[in-house]
Amino acid sequence: MSIALYQYRLFWDGHHGALRCGPRLRLLAAAPTLPGVEGVRVEEIDYAPEVNVAQLREAGGDWREMSPVEVAGAQTLIEALGPTTPLPLAAAA
């Protein structure tokens, strides 16, 4: 999924990633740490609330749906890029 497809996005593929909030884009040089769940070691993450994608993979684990606290942490990172209209929340499993 391209970073350009959606207005709100957080992804990390294990090597590179990006954070997008509307026209604001920040490239990531390391895996993000999600506020509120700093103990979760993110190996890969794909969060695109516009299409209800909220998945992550921890080191040594499989892909899974993000918890509500992890979703809130991803939202916090996105919103930190600047003022936005309210984000649609992805439904957590």
- DSSP run (H or E) holding 73: helix 68-79
Tell me the pLDDT tens digit for each residue of 11-49.
999 999 999 998 899 999 999 999 999 999 999 999 999
* CA 17/CA 88 separation, integer angstroms: 21
Residue of higher predicted confidence among 73 and 90? 73
> How does strand 24-28 pair with strand 8-12?
unpaired
The candidate with the shortest Cα–Cα distance to 72, out of 17, 6, 3, 10, is: 10
Tell me the pLDDT tens digit for each residue of 69-78.
999 999 999 9
């892909």: which residue's tokens? 63
pLDDT of 92: 52
Domain boundaries, the chain: 16-79
Q: pLDDT-based confidence at 61, cuts 50/70/90?
A: very high
